[in-house]
Amino acid sequence: MVLYFLPGCTFTKVGVCVSEECAVTASASTATGGMCVFTMLILSPQAGCPKANSSTPMELVYPKSTNGELFPWNELRLPASVRPVNYDLSLTPNLTSMTFTGHTIINMIIQHDTKRIVLHSSEINIIKATFQVGEGKSVEVKVLEYKPWQQIAVSFPEDLKEGQVCVLTLDYTASLSHTYDGFYNSSYNDKTGAKRVLAATQFEPQAARKAFPCFDEPAFKATFLVRITREPEYIALSNMPKAKTTTLPSGMLEDEFEQTSVNMSTYLVAFIVANFTSITRNVSSTLVLYSVPEKKEHTQYALDTASRLLQFYNTLFDTEYPLRKLDLVAIPDFLAGAMENWGLITFRETSLLVQNQSSPLDKQLIANVVAHELAHQWFGNLVTMRWWNDLWLSEGFATYWQYASLMTEFPQLDLGNVFLEERFKAMAKDSLNSSHPVSVSAQVTTPEQVSEMFDSITYEKGASLLLMLNSTLPDGQFRKGLIEYLHQYRGSNTVTDDLWNSITQVAVVCLRNPVSYIHRLLPQQESVSDMMRTWTLQKGFPLVTVSRKGGEVTLTQEHFLLSTDNTTHTSSLWHIPVTYVNDSKSMFMYLSAVFCFLLLATLKVSESVKWLKLNYMNTGFYIVHYGDEGWAALIDALKTDVSTLTPHDRASLIHNIFSLSRLGRVSFRQVLSLLDYTTNETETAPLTEALSQLSSIYRLLDKRQERRLVARMKVPILDLKESVSSQELRSALLELACSLGRQNCTDQAKALYEQWTNSNQTNRIPGDLQRVVFSVAAQSDPGWLSLLDTYRLTTYDSEKRKILQALASTQDPRRIMWPVWTGCCEDVACFNWLCVCRFPVGSYPIQSIIKSTTSQFSTQTHLEEVQGFFSSLKERGSQMRSVQEALETIRLNQHWMDRNLATLRDWL
């Protein structure tokens, strides 16, 4: 039996496809176990769909509800016939039984005549439901449930009419979730060692339905009034300030919070019941930071950072933060780094709490996360994407502004180099055939497809495109366009074109220093939308090739795609905003003309110009190939004077030539020729990129068990490391040196660890050296066990995170697995549960696990092992995009090694 699903087809009971574009018809249908089963007659595309008998009304096929009745809806997305206006939520969690009861009143308006109301509910036991139309009588109604799609529905014998106001009231019970989403339970040990419990929420992307029945899609915005009943020893928090507290006859307390002053999507609703304490700061609204009581002294840095950034964003966006309070809450057991719930931002403790004596790198992490979540209060919360296929409108913006805001307000954190590294990582993912467009026009409906949108394409590539656009527009126009966007769509939902249209109203691109002698296939005044649609609607990015004959330079473009097997080539090209510099400009006179080209561009330069470097400061999302002569000229220039180019431009050249080597466009000997200049390099960005690329090759060789080459590969890496003395690189470089077995490094790390343990941990290890010291200690049995004991007892969050990373760095597989097996698992089935149930399929943790465990494989044996493992999983797991990315990466690693192993042997 074969079932074909084609775009636009809806099957009916009489076996007719409604869409005339469909080439499939159903000859019979039955419903079994809630799933529709069709026996199919396959027609040729030319045959088209058979026409329905005009006298036979077509009746759609619906799935079966849990009670055996037909469920009145047959799509994953909700119908648009009903719009919620307000939710009145009352919840009573029991932190002893780990259950809760709920009472939800949904006020809604009918948008189109309909006989059904369909909404979301998951893992909730609905006890009673009543329905009221206008001022009419409230009547009890039957609720149908279709669990595979997490939907419930109420059907009516007659149409509800457009414009009618209705009220649906639902009483229900549920268990607090044992995973990290929905309304979940968490626990921690206080300073006395006693276990404490709490309940918190994580609703993004589709888990509000686990806490209360709702229209759980971002476009269904509404207002919310929340009541939480709690025991007196706890406090309750929600998105809005507390309006009043009532003592109930049972002795319990009911906190009622103000109704939200803005319409918001369900995934931004939040509430917490816990024993927390707080510190407060008044900015434009009341800013409060909550933590467990014994960690109150670790909250000051985050509060100071949030205060400055809130003022910065208020001014930058010309839109005041709209709520009367903003809570930042440190939760001991929280899967995401943080969550931007409006007015109640939740954080993993290690993403919010830091000691005053902590290292700059620890503070950099805190500042990054705080800046990201505060930016969401405007981008994502105030203006929200209509659907998850445009998630980048939220996450891409938050990522961009996290770097832009910190580079302005906290320049000492040196986030410019970090942002550059993240752009390089996004390009690595986007160079694969398994990548996807930033704005996905293809179907994104299933929970797995939605979860997979939370990746580096959405976050880092989205941010990179905003950087490129800002660098292309004349000064100030980018900000003006964003202010227009926020003002125009405040409180609403948008798609990507809405953003480009808003910016286009105040700006045009490719007019800075216009150069009349550039030939291109673009209009003289290209709109932002014209340019940016070529970047957001197709996956990948361009490779720009530079050809020069005397004073004439020709630029051409093509899709930079590493894969050659089963590739999907893009049919479009990119409107590329090109910047360039050459040796006719002094270091302080960089004037990079900005122009766009689509297919071919030519420009004139003086024949005395020795070299050109495109993509000034690497603000564009593309790679440049200069040809043999062009690369030779740039390499000679750097060997003559390393300061000829900016540090970011030097890092860009290193990244580009390694990427071209993977593509097969340059030889590895050319790569090594460029790296020769790094003996004189002292800046962070280029050295970090060179070390990253060489370390990746080292790990490839190590996984292939090329023992002699691995030993020799250590020498150039350690030689490169010796060039650097900057503070911000000390931790990463020492960690690299110790991992490569440099004796003086491991000896010093062991000595520091012994001093720390012998002093009963009063002789502090410098914050930026803790991870490398702990990692060295974890390689011995006594050190690993003592670290495990320390991990269980320490209350310092940044220290706790580094100990956990060190425990996982051991090479003893028994040690790696011990916490898993002793914590919950006794067999393989349990381990599968840990990976797939604790971390849902498609979620970011699963993506990270797959990438980190497979990215350095490069042999046929490795490829077959990974293929075999994932093919044994259920289909929805094996079809994850991250699995396809892993297999593609292994094949590419294999091809690169086949081409370059001989050269590596000669060099080493």
- How much is the average pLDDT of 548-567? 86
Most confident stretch, 164-168, 321-325, 350-354, 528-532: 164-168
Q: Do 417 and 684 contact (CB within 8 A), yes or no?
A: yes
Farthest-apart Cα atoms in the chain, separation:
91
- What digits encode the pLDDT tens for the residues 670-682? 999 999 999 899 8
Per-residue pLDDT band for 221 (boundaries 50, 70, 90) equals: very high
DSSP state of 763: S
What is the distance between the alpha carbons of residues 285 and 327, in angstroms, rounded to a whole number?
A: 10
Segment holding 89, helix H or strand E: strand 82-94
Catalytic residue selected from 373, 526, 735, 888: 373
pLDDT of residue 350 exceeding 70, the answer is yes
Worst-scoring range by mean pLDDT, 618-622, 709-713, 823-827?
Answer: 823-827
pLDDT of residue 40 exceeding 60, the answer is no
What is the distance between the alpha carbons of residues 142 and 140, in angstroms, rounded to a whole number?
A: 7
What is the distance between the alpha carbons of residues 31 and 63, in angstroms, rounded to a whole number?
A: 7
Q: Spell out a b/e string for 860-886, using b for 16 or more CB atoms within 10 Å of the CB, else e.
A: eebbeebeeebeebeeebeebbbbbbb
Per-residue pLDDT band for 192 (boundaries 50, 70, 90) equals: confident
Residue 721 confidence (pLDDT): 63
- What digits encode the pLDDT tens for the residues 637-668? 999 999 999 999 999 999 999 999 999 999 99
Residue 28 confidence (pLDDT): 35
From the list 217, 269, 281, 241, the residue with the least C-alpha distance to 450 is 217
Rounded to 10 deg, the angle between the 496-504 and 528-536 helix axes is: 150
From the list 259, 179, 170, the residue with the least C-alpha distance to 215 is 170
Neighbours of 292 (CB within 10 A): 23
Token reading at 907: 């060099």
Q: List Cα–Cα distances, 595 to 504, 522, 601, in angstroms.
A: 17, 10, 9
Per-residue pLDDT band for 822 (boundaries 50, 70, 90) equals: very low
Q: List Cα–Cα distances, 567 to 94, 434, 539, 662, in angstroms.
A: 53, 9, 12, 16
Comparing 404 with 19, the larger pLDDT belongs to: 404
Residue 113 confidence (pLDDT): 97
Location of structure tokens 């009483």: 171
DSSP 691-737: HHHHHHHHHHHHHTT-HHHHHHHHHHHHHHHTT---HHHHHHHHHHH
pLDDT of residue 685 exceeding 90, the answer is yes
pTM, rounded to two decimals = 0.87
Q: What percent of the chain lies above the pLDDT cut of 70?
A: 84
What is the distance between the alpha carbons of residues 525 and 512, in angstroms, rounded to a whole number?
A: 11
- How much is the average pLDDT of 451-472? 95
For the chain, domains (ranges, CATH) are 63-275 (2.60.40.1730)
DSSP 480-513: HHHHHHHHHHTTSEE-HHHHHHHHHTT-EES-SS
Mean of per-residue pLDDT scores for the chain: 85
Neighbours of 835 (CB within 10 A): 16
Cis-peptide, bond into residue 205, ω within 30° of zero: yes
In 111-241, where do the E strands start and end? 114-120, 125-133, 139-140, 144-146, 151-160, 165-175, 182-189, 195-202, 223-230, 235-238
Task: Spell out the SS3 assignment of 779-799.
Answer: CCHHHHHHHHHHHHHCCCHHH
Task: Find out whether 395 is annotated in a ligand binding site.
Answer: yes
- What digits encode the pLDDT tens for the residues 709-723? 888 887 777 776 665
DSSP 147-160: GGGTEEEEEEEEEE
What is the phi/psi pair of residue 466, to 5°?
-70, -40
Task: Find out whether 648 is annotated in a ligand binding site.
Answer: no
Rounded to 10 deg, the angle between the 528-536 and 462-472 helix axes is: 160
pLDDT of residue 29 exceeding 60, the answer is no
Per-residue pLDDT band for 839 (boundaries 50, 70, 90) equals: low
| 3-class secondary structure, 447 | helix
Active site residue 373: yes
- What digits encode the pLDDT tens for the residues 492-505? 999 999 999 999 99
Per-residue pLDDT band for 184 (boundaries 50, 70, 90) equals: very high
What is the distance between the alpha carbons of residues 503 and 780, in angstroms, rounded to a whole number?
A: 58
Residue 30 confidence (pLDDT): 36
Per-residue pLDDT band for 4 (boundaries 50, 70, 90) equals: very low
DSSP 644-690: GS-HHHHHHHHHHHHHHHHHTSS-HHHHHHHHGGGGG---HHHHHHH
Task: Find out whether 569 is annotated in a ligand binding site.
Answer: no
Segment holding 271, helix H or strand E: strand 271-274
pLDDT of residue 33 exceeding 50, the answer is no
From the list 469, 519, 521, 522, the residue with the least C-alpha distance to 499 is 469
Token reading at 576: 């590329």
Neighbours of 191 (CB within 10 A): 11
pLDDT of residue 482 exceeding 50, the answer is yes
Calculate the CA dihedral of residues 751, 757, 759, 764 and round it to 10 degrees.
Answer: 70
pLDDT of residue 595 exceeding 60, the answer is yes
DSSP 628-650: HHHHHHHHHHHHH-GGGS-HHHH
Q: Do 27 and 19 contact (CB within 8 A), yes or no?
A: no
Location of structure tokens 């840990």: 834
